[in-house]
Amino acid sequence: MNEASTPAVANRPSSLAAANGPATIALDLQLRRSGSFSLDASLRLPGSGISVLFGHSGSGKTTLLRVLAGLERVPGARVSLGDQTWQDDARGLFVPPERRRIGMVFQDARLFPHLTVLENLHYGLDRLKPALPARSFDDTVALLNLGALLQRGVAHLSGGERQRVAIARALLSKPCLLLLDEPLASLDQALKSEVLPYLERLHEELRIPVVYVTHSPAETLRLADHLVLLSEGRVLRSAPLAEALSGMDLPEALREEFGNVMEGSVVSHDSQYGLLTLAFGGGLLRLPHRALPQGTRLRVRIRASDITVAVEQTRGTSMLNAFTGIIDGEFTPDGAAHMLVRIRVGTTPLVARLTRLSHDQLGLHKGRTVWAMVKSVAVDS
């Protein structure tokens, strides 16, 4: 994961933002299809930030997105955004996609190949009645860094540039909800790295909700504010990112993929030792990192197996990070030699993996105060 390239500006007014951010997205549906596929979901997603629908192929994430967009009508479903109800079959109500004020971006950018970038963007503007002020166009072009591409034909764009144009076109339709269906799936790693910083800027600049579908843990860890974990058509977890990943019964494969997530702001940088100090909701974390401006938001990952648990403050070790917290959850997989312990460090949950023998020898239990210790070199950023 890489950090955002600029200091946090989440509270800065933007001409791209809706005047009043919409309330919660609500979606309730049950879907049964021939064969083995079924989907049963009841979701409440926040009205701002990026909500990521994560799951492997066949988990139901794209179907959920299509139902939100109105591209698929599931009998009996109910879909609403704030006080706007888009589907309620009990009342015979269904609002078609073109009346939902939704911006949508697919894996394939779906640009008009015979038009220039500028002409593709004007297609988004032409959908508005009345049209957006010119400054919003300029802001959108600047947000996605498209100024130098406006007169270029679509055939002469890279895959990453095409996706940036597609996102800009969706924003210029002045949506109240932006849906992104695996927008990086068709790009190679270099092009993904090109586009990701612009997706991060959407988080900083927009006050409309964004729902982002992916099967990539790296994209999820970098972008998600709220995480919906899907598996075989059911919702395993729906919560803010750190909380979603701290559940005790999270499947082991997902825990290995994600680890623990910490997010904070840069306090200082020690140039002599190359260490960055990050303030998070439980203290100060030191990690190897290049210098960043004070106040820059940074998200990091710590594997559960890289957290050492101690029952008393330990001195004389190489670990630079030691946080006091309270155990508020424990889980032992069937027949396993190890177990998981969740430690609440301030407002931040950390899940540590340790052997059952260590757990018992230390006398650990829910409610006990402990120290969570982390090597600086074990922090991924």
Q: What is the pTM of this model?
A: 0.84
CA dihedral 247, 64, 210, 129 (to 10 degrees): -160
Residue 301 confidence (pLDDT) above 70 = yes
Write down the pLDDT at residue 316.
87
CATH 3.40.50.300 fits 260-378, yes or no: no
For residue range 239-298, list pLDDT tens digits in order. Answer: 999 999 998 878 888 888 889 999 999 999 999 999 999 999 999 999 999 999 999 999
Taking the domains of the chain in order of start, what are their residue ranges? 25-245, 260-378
Q: Which of 155, 219, 318 is nearest to 2 (CA)?
A: 219
What is the spatial distance between Cα 189 and Cα 63, in angstroms, rounded to a whole number? 26
pLDDT at 15 (0 to 100)? 38
pLDDT at residue number 124: 65
Quote the CA–CA distance of 306 and 332 in Å, as a whole number.
18
Q: What is the mean pLDDT of residues 191-202?
A: 88
Task: Retrieve residue 365's tokens.
Answer: 């239990």
Q: Which residue has the higher pLDDT, 127 or 342?
A: 342
Average pLDDT of the chain?
86
Per-residue pLDDT band for 368 (boundaries 50, 70, 90) equals very high
Confidence check: pLDDT of 161 > 90? yes
pLDDT at 146 over 90: yes
| pLDDT (tens digit per residue) in 57-114 | 888 898 899 999 999 898 888 999 988 899 998 899 999 998 998 999 998 888 999 9
Nearest C-alpha neighbor of 236 from the set 248, 223, 224: 248
Give percent of the chain with pLDDT exceeding 90.
Answer: 57
For residues 38 and 140, give the distance between their C-alpha atoms in angstroms, rounded to a whole number. 39
The type of residue at 60 is: G
pLDDT greater than 60 at residue 235 = yes
In this predicted structure, the answer to whether residue 331 has a pLDDT above a threshold of 80 is yes
173-184 tens-digit pLDDT? 888 899 999 999
| Backbone torsions φ then ψ of 287, nearest 5 degrees | -150, 150
State yes or no: pLDDT of 315 exceeds 60.
Answer: yes
CA distances from 223 to 1, 27, 56 (A): 10, 22, 17
Q: Do β-strands 369-374 and 283-288 pair in parallel, antiparallel, or remain unpaired?
A: unpaired
Q: Longest Cα pair distance anywhere in the chain, in angstroms? A: 70
Cα–chain center distance at 240: 9
pLDDT, greater one: 79 or 29:
79
25-245: CATH superfamily:
P-loop containing nucleotide triphosphate hydrolases (3.40.50.300)
Let me know: does 185 contact 107? Beta carbons within 8 Å: yes
Strand partners, 146: none
Cα torsion through 184, 187, 191, 193, rounded to 10: 40
Nearest to 105 by CA among 215, 44, 184, 51: 184
Q: Which helix (H) or strand (E) segment is 328 a member of?
A: strand 321-331
The model's confidence at residue 130, banded by pLDDT at 50, 70 and 90, is: low
Taking residue 1's Cβ as centre, other Cβ atoms within 10 Å add up to 17
pLDDT at 4 over 50: no
